[in-house]
Amino acid sequence: MSRTVAVLRELGADWAVLTAPESLVYALGYAPAVETGPSPFAAGPALALVGRDGEAALILPATEVAGPRAGQVFRYDNYGLHHADLPRGAFEAEFQKLRGHMRPSGRFAIDGAAHSAWIDGLLPPGERIDLTAALRRQRMTKTDAEVAALTRCAELAAIGQTRMMAAARPGISELALFAAIREVMEREAGERLAVTGDLLSGRARTAGMTGWPGKRVLGQGDAIIADIAPRFGGYWGDSCATVVLGTPTEAQLRVFGAARNALDLAIAEIRPGMTAGAAHRLVRGCVQGAGFDYPHHTGHSIGTAVHEHPRLCDDETTVLRAGMVLMVEPGAYDPAIGGARTEWMLHVTETGCRPLAPFPLVAAVNSVE
Amino acid sequence: MSRTVAVLRELGADWAVLTAPESLVYALGYAPAVETGPSPFAAGPALALVGRDGEAALILPATEVAGPRAGQVFRYDNYGLHHADLPRGAFEAEFQKLRGHMRPSGRFAIDGAAHSAWIDGLLPPGERIDLTAALRRQRMTKTDAEVAALTRCAELAAIGQTRMMAAARPGISELALFAAIREVMEREAGERLAVTGDLLSGRARTAGMTGWPGKRVLGQGDAIIADIAPRFGGYWGDSCATVVLGTPTEAQLRVFGAARNALDLAIAEIRPGMTAGAAHRLVRGCVQGAGFDYPHHTGHSIGTAVHEHPRLCDDETTVLRAGMVLMVEPGAYDPAIGGARTEWMLHVTETGCRPLAPFPLVAAVNSVE
């Protein structure tokens, strides 16, 4: 930290407010989780300007292959021969071109948490309105095209879970099992995928609910929680399966059954008109009735972010509507037994809900070596 | 985009400025590259406050396992049962606790591009100073501990490249080859790793310089460019190897040799006192002397970001100093032949430079099925 403090003193500043992952490592030795890292080739997140009459432009690094479906694209040099102040200086120059072309003025709606002070300084001065809450409401229900995109993600997750159940065996590490899951999903998608979630094995790890795969080697009788969330085409899938390697104990079956039955109840009962909070209490009540509990939300909407609103939790009063796509993920955790969680994607219809690309939820996989 | 425009009209705003990846997909169908995605469990990037007397605090999601080496940690609920406005509402409440505890005041130095307008509104009003340039200068030279961390990353990259050379064979897809590389690095590290870079095969793809692995299946005689950059412990490694499957053609050998000889020249000639621009011209001149060229920078510093300053490019006047760690990555690209690029990490010493954990740079791997 002393070198960051030296910079503060050099600047005559009292406090540094640091959020860039590389600054956090440098100042505090804190390395944010893997998939939060920014692209090394980008000056910052991609930036779009959208006007109220439908004009749109997007500014991207020159090396970025993907492009938008709509709007004009401005690309800034980020890998070139000449400019020492890449990519930031090149971004600023290109952004001025974009401004000259689009001539934005008036009140600007901004993307709250992601809108940077640096970017703001490149815009005309004036009023800013945070659009987070309005966009959050707009994104709660999905179009048919969005449901199709989410179904494709659900299919990828199901392929991953099926591979998990085939590849899990005594002697494989959590990391290697995760690599097998990720590889089959990437093969199916034909591209690298962002994958988040949990991969946990054994009593202590599964009772702990969350965590990325580590060095732990699986053994006969171990439970495995695989919470697998791939992103494809800008939309997210999510899923959770719990299996025991070999023959589950009676206690493991009770934990698994508590989660599994609560998911079945959710599929039977979730429908338009119910509040998200009521859905949460219903599902959690089922797990509690089986003698277990979970200290996390019952679920969440999903779309262009893996966690969207509404969340299925106590104080959420949003009324469920047809067109929502909800993750429902009841769990049951007991330090003396271990944990289980089961999760499918549920599409809320006019009369109820239906799972998108459900995969088998079995309590155990045959693991005799 | 119509639904984003609807939000603008609802807000009475003229323009939306969008940077959150999920907003870009929603408005424009543009999905930013994989590893730029934010954590679904975070309200935004982790945020640190560092005071000029060395006080420090960091605010993190409750489910984040990693923590800092220094400073007090404040954790906000991001997966809980109760609060519907997670994680943002919980972040704001926890941030007020942090503010009450640290009582920051005075001039604030901010992390330019990453400092969000939303965060700024949670701070006391007053002057802001962008610390980007000063921190960039500070980070140019590395401490011994940083060189050790970077050496470990170089070792991981070397393990990945060695695996690439063993696993490359006709019939394997780029994606599967990349999965094999990533898996061996993750096994060695014992954890999931962020990995960026390129994996390209065949004449057209290697002549194109950059790109993530895709569905293309490798064939006998194909060149492969593997540019592999893993992050471990908050520091980055980087590397590039080019190999031909089987017996290279004379033209492929000339392309490979142009890149390889330029890297050898860099190792022989780079030393303190030379400017970054001069190093660039020296290395590029070597490739040009062999009848080829590359349209990208010759290299870049590396540390807590994979691309740091100085960059080795034409207008960079920074003088190289002992303690810098530089990536040098000369390439040679010809649409009629294909491309090659070779890259090691070079530690600038008092008298010259030395490669960190170099891996074999061979022109071909034996690929008889």
Top-confidence residue, A95 or B87: A95
CA distance A249 to chain B (A): 29
The H or E element containing residue B347 is: strand B344-348
Report whether pLDDT(A100) > 80. Answer: yes
Distance CA B249, CA B105 (A): 66
Domain spanning B33-138, CATH architecture? 3-Layer(aba) Sandwich (3.40)
Closest by CA to A125, choosing from A147, A145, A105, is A105
Report whether pLDDT(A32) > 80. Answer: no
Q: What is the mean pLDDT of residues A235-260?
A: 96
Report whether pLDDT(A36) > 50. Answer: no
The token pair that represents B227 in the structure block: 């540019």
Report whether pLDDT(B38) > 60. Answer: no
Measured between beta carbons, the chain A residues lying within 8 angstroms of B313 are: 80-84, 86
Top-confidence residue, B283 or A31: B283
Closest by CA to A233, choosing from A139, A303, A316, is A303
Omega of the bond prior to B68 within 30 degrees of 0, cis?
Answer: no
Measured between beta carbons, the chain A residues lying within 8 angstroms of B54 are: 1-2, 5
| A119: nearest CB among B19, B43, B83 | B19
Question: What pLDDT was estimated at residue A202?
Answer: 98
Closest by CA to B98, choosing from B137, B71, B63, is B71
| B109: nearest CB among A8, A43, A132 | A8
| A5: nearest CB among B43, B54, B117 | B54
The CATH code that applies to domain A144-365 is 3.90.230.10
Nearest CA in chain A to B26: A304
Question: How far, in whole angstroms, is CA A305 from its chain's centroid?
Answer: 6
CA distance B143 to chain A (A): 10
Measured between beta carbons, the chain A residues lying within 8 angstroms of B184 are: none
Q: Cβ(A344)–Cβ(A328) under 8 Å?
A: yes
Closest by CA to A323, choosing from B269, B3, B349, is B3
Distance CA B196, CA B238 (A): 9
Nearest CA in chain B to A293: B81
- Whole-angstrom distance between the N-terminal and C-terminal Cα of chain B? 51
Nearest CA in chain B to A59: B19
Q: How many CB atoms lie within 10 A of CB A96?
A: 12
Closest by CA to B212, choosing from B182, B242, B156, B174, is B174
**Is B48 within 8 Å of A118 when comparing Cβ atoms?**
no
Report whether pLDDT(A15) > 90. Answer: no
**Is B108 within 8 Å of A63 when comparing Cβ atoms?**
no
Question: What pLDDT was estimated at residue A43?
Answer: 58
Question: What pLDDT was estimated at residue A31?
Answer: 65
**Is A58 within 8 Å of B30 when comparing Cβ atoms?**
yes
Top-confidence residue, A189 or B130: A189
Strand partners, B327: B300, B345
Question: What pLDDT was estimated at residue A121?
Answer: 86
Report whether pLDDT(A34) > 50. Answer: no
Distances (CA, A) of B108 to A9, A163, B130, B137, B294: 11, 50, 9, 19, 42
Q: Cβ(A294)–Cβ(A322) under 8 Å?
A: no
Each as own residue / partner, the long-range contacts of residues B90-93 (CB below 8 Å, 24 or more positions apart, any chain) are B90/B43, B91/B43, B91/B44, B91/B59, B92/B122
Domain positions in chain B are: 33-138, 144-365
Measured between beta carbons, the chain A residues lying within 8 angstroms of B17 are: 47-49, 108-111, 115, 119, 123
Top-confidence residue, A281 or A26: A281
Report whether pLDDT(B208) > 90. Answer: yes
pLDDT in tens, A213-241: 999 999 999 999 999 999 888 888 999 99
**Is A68 within 8 Å of B6 when comparing Cβ atoms?**
no
Nearest CA in chain A to B87: A307
Report whether pLDDT(B190) > 80. Answer: yes
**Is A35 within 8 Å of B33 when comparing Cβ atoms?**
no
Distances (CA, A) of B195 to A23, A39, A363, B232, B300: 19, 11, 34, 9, 17
> Binning pLDDT at 50, 70 and 90, where does residue B366 land?
confident
Top-confidence residue, A181 or A56: A181
Distance CA B160, CA B157 (A): 5
CA distance B366 to chain A (A): 25
CA distance B248 to chain A (A): 28
Angle at A88 between CA A26 and CA A91, to 5 degrees: 150
CA distance B69 to chain A (A): 5
Q: Give DSSP secondary structure letters for A305-345.
A: SSSEEEEESTT--PBP-TT-EEEE--EEEETTTEEEE-BEE
Distance CA B321, CA A168 (A): 51
The token pair that represents B53 in the structure block: 């007397």
Percent with pLDDT over 90 in chain B: 55
Closest by CA to A80, choosing from B300, B267, B344, is B300
**Is A117 within 8 Å of B128 when comparing Cβ atoms?**
yes
**Is B296 within 8 Å of A129 when comparing Cβ atoms?**
no
CA distance A221 to chain B (A): 23
Question: What pLDDT was estimated at residue B156?
Answer: 98
Nearest CA in chain B to A128: B13
Location of structure tokens 């471990």: B232
pLDDT in tens, A301-360: 998 888 889 999 998 999 999 999 999 999 999 999 999 999 999 999 999 999 999 999
Strand partners, A74: A59
